[in-house]
Structure 1
Amino acid sequence: MPKPLSGPRDHTNPLIWCAAIICAAVAVAVIVAGAVVFIGYLVIKPSVPRIGVASAALDAVYFDQTSSLTVQVTVVVRAENDNPKARASFSGTTLGLSFRGQKIAYLVAGAFAVAANSTVELNYVPQSTPIPLDAEDAAAVSSSLRRSVMDFELKGTTKTRWRIWLVGSAKFWLHLDCRLHLPVNGTVVYPRCSSRSK
């Protein structure tokens, strides 16, 4: 009876085995690192630092019905870091204070740090240059004075960064968009207004 013919056996190249082992090791390392990061995130539950308006007041109003408006406003901006074990840093803080779309002043801060589970307050007392008024703006100012309240907008951004345990460093741009309704008699108000991360 004739014996079946058999060809030479194919052997897998050792380089392919090495590549497969390396890929498997990398995959296991990625899975383990992902699990560590996820568990760390669940344990620490980090929160994004915030920036907001702690208080504001309209200190002075100078209104010439035929030409211009000048105001002085006190604004206290509060940077908050609710993370119990992470220090946060803020930089590039630029906020624009406006009245009826016209910029009154820019509130700017250099880089600063906020300790873990702490806050830092930035005090600004900007005084506008005379704001030219057209008939519509002058009528709006007159109406605001009759109501004893003037409306302002405070908009801007800041960048925050903080370290989350083994997860690493996190960075966010924070965006502030506040409407300030300020009594003309100088009463301090406490707006509920804070940033949104993007």
Structure 2
Amino acid sequence: MFRQQETNPHFLPLRNDPILEFPSQSRHPQHEPPPRRSTRTREQTPHSPSSPHHPTKQGVRPTYLVEPPPQRSHHTSTTPAGLSPADHSIPQATPPPQHVAAAAPQTQYTTQTSRRSRRPSLLQGPTSQKTRPLAWLIAAFCALFWIIVIVGGLIILIVYLLFRPRNPKFDISAVTFNAAYLDMGYLLNADVTLLANFSNPNTKVNVDFSYVILDLYYEKNFIATRYVEPFSLMRSETEFANVHFMVSQVRLSMGHIMELKRQMDSGRVNFEVKGLFRTRSKLGGFLQYSYWLYAHCQITVTGPPTGILLDKKCVTKR
């Protein structure tokens, strides 16, 4: 509807009197959505307009009906209602300082979390690394060494099972105690002859004796030594050697001198014979190995000048 312009000057309103107008339904269409409400509101900047729907005219005061600005939540856009985002003439509302202050602890917590995540964990699996050439060389050397050890052990086992090598044996077959006397009461002079027996118990192995030496002892005192020429023993062969001990001017203690006199009077004199042998066994015609043998014999003979062997006990070992 259109208003009819008043022509009577008495009824014209004064310039300073406000004009009351009631909003019609056309000023608020039905399809306009109600403003959003939330618990958090933003403060209006002093530069935002009071009401975009009621523009002021020159010479006419605005009406008293003022719509409240729409309340915006924290996640809504900061563009005022009725303006497009492309309108840059109106400044955007800045976030309150409390949000900036609240974001600082979160950033600090995120930084600490990222630092903790970069720390190495004990449960983390080993990282793959390229193997060095030196490690490959050491592994190849160890593998070759163990192959040689295993092959050598198999060869030794086969040879042992095939030839069944045994150590040669040393024994004393006969003893002659020809003479014994004391010079100046404490120097021993004696004549003892041994018939040594060297035997090879192997049926498939030959044995060579390259170094043979025999020592004679009385009550743990060394009194004489003899060297035997090298010889060889074939399979299951026995070799005898006549060993003559000449004891000359050997000093004994008074206790040992008294013990020797007592044994000669009783007809049972005890001696010890120790032997050291360097032997070499030949397994067939392609394999041989050398080793040392140690012999120890305890013999008992009668008194001189016709002393003979009464008892013996011999042990031969490596």
Asked if these proteins are the same fold (TM beyond 0.5), I'd say yes
Between the aligned partners of 2:182 and 2:151, the Cα distance in structure 1 is 66
Correspondence for 2:315: 194
Local SS of the residue matching 1:195? strand
Q: What is the identity percentage for the equivalent residue pairs of Structure 1 and Structure 2? A: 23
Uncovered stretches (5+) of structure 2, i.e. residues with no partner: 1-135
Local SS of the residue matching 2:209? strand
When residues 88 and 67 of structure 1 are mapped into structure 2, their CA distance, relative to the original with a 3 A threshold, is same
Q: CA RMSD in A?
A: 3.0
User: Which stretches of structure 1, 4 residues or more, deviate above 4 A after TM superposition?
Assistant: 29-37
Aligned counterparts, 1:17-166, within 5 A = 27=147, 35=154, 37-63=156-182, 66-165=185-284
**Post-superposition shift, 1:90?**
0.7
- Residue type of the alignment partner of 1:148: G
**Post-superposition shift, 1:53?**
2.2
Number of residue pairs matched by the alignment: 175
Between the aligned partners of 2:275 and 2:284, the Cα distance in structure 1 is 29
Higher-strand-fraction structure? 1
**TM-score with structure 1 length normalisation?**
0.74
Uncovered stretches (5+) of structure 1, i.e. residues with no partner: 1-15
Question: Deviations for 1:134-190, whole angstroms, at most 9, x for unmatched residues?
Answer: 421221112112221111121231111111248821222111122221111412346
Query: Greater RCO between the two (CA within 8 Å, min separation 6)?
Result: 1
Question: Deviations for 1:54-97, whole angstroms, at most 9, x for unmatched residues?
Answer: 32231222245834332111111221111113221012212211
**Post-superposition shift, 1:192?**
3.4
Q: Larger radius of gyration, structure 1 or 2?
A: 2
Given that 1:56 and 1:190 are in contact with CA atoms closer than 8 Å, whether structure 2 keeps it comes out as no
- Residue type of the alignment partner of 1:170: Y
**TM-score with structure 2 length normalisation?**
0.48
Between the aligned partners of 1:117 and 1:167, the Cα distance in structure 2 is 20
- Residue type of the alignment partner of 1:50: K
